A and B are shown apart, each in its own frame.
Chain A
Amino acid sequence: MTADVSSPELAASGDELYHTPTLGEFFPDAILFAGTPFEFNRVQLVRLIILVVVLVGTYLIASRAKLVPGRIQSIFELIIEFVNTQIIDSVMGSERGRQFSPMLITMFVMIFAMNLGGVIPGMNLAGTSVIGLPLMLALWTFVTYIIFGVKKHGLGGYLKHETMPPGVPKPIYLLLIPIEFLQVAIIRWASLTIRLLANMVAGHMMLVVFISLTQGLLLSGTWLMAVSPLSGALAIGIYGFEIFVAALQAFVFTILSAVYINMATSDEH
């Protein structure tokens, strides 16, 4: 494990009090349908709850939308406005980019809500901390930029557009074409997946390490008890940091999707 923080004193004070967290955190026991392909565990439950909350919430906000927005409606309009101006207009420009705004707003809201699951007490596990959801969203981006790129340039034209940047000496293309092709076909969506997943996994691990460390220190029964408030304060600080990371990762994922779509659909240089 990477999170090997147990000091000798702590190990000596009793292995029962402090466990180094393992990847088993992310694969809890099944609640329903154990043993079938439809196995349902805590991660799926968290995802389902967040999905229902977001869907019902946005439905209620949208169905009661007024010309003069109330508080909740204006917060939501702020999010939509943020994605439209800060992400779409600044990356793609509004005339080409606005057709993608439903997709990117959905992505942003969904990733943000799912990430927040990791810091909501009682849930304690982000919906995006198991590979399925990040992979699905990354493949959505992948399929979108391939389809719109091919639609704009044609299949051969699209491949040429993405893998043969102009203004490069001819022999370099031997090296450049495989790299760029690999980039388009695999690296882009794989890195989107890994970025979101690893951030959420690492954030959850940090929280678990510091909270269980606080408990281990507090119950150790030695002078180490005096250190536990510091460790507890650090854990709460990390909660704040995780909320920031949840928003930042939603932003980064959405903006990179916009950048990739922009690369695929931009005009000839």
Chain B
Amino acid sequence: MEPTILAELTGNVASIGYGLAAIGPGIGIGIIVGKTAEATARQPELRGQLQTTMFIGIAFTEILTLLAIVTGLIFS
């Protein structure tokens, strides 16, 4: 009996990989920005400092997703 192909997928698995890689940093950045908004609401006078910390935190979290883009381009 010859094998029957029921369904077929084409494309690059890197697309799925990028989706997976975006989940964690997405949640992380959400938490960072949400907490910053919360802290700003509590102490509006610290807004500038909090934003600086927020951008540093975002930069460190975001690099994981950016690494996924680079990985996809390198291994494709």
Contacts and interface: CB of A to CB of B under 8 A. Distances in A.
Interface residues of A, number: 21
Interface residues of B, number: 21
Interface in B4-38: 11-12, 14-15, 18
A252 B55 contact: yes
Contacts of B72: 1-2
A195 interface: yes
B59 A198 contact: no
A191 interface: yes
Interface string A191-216: 10011011101100000000000000
Interface residues of chain A: helix, strand, loop or mixed (majority)? helix
A4 interface: yes
Given A2-B12, A195-B63, A202 B55 contact: no
B52 A201 contact: no
B56 interface: yes
Contacts of B66: 194-195, 198-199, 202
A199 B48 CA distance: 25
Given A86-B48, A194-B63, A195-B62, A2 B69 contact: yes
A195 B64 CA distance: 9
Interface in A15-61: 23
Q: Which 7 A-B pairs have CB atoms at the shortest separation, nearest pair first?
A: A198-B66, A2-B72, A252-B59, A198-B69, A90-B52, A4-B11, A191-B63
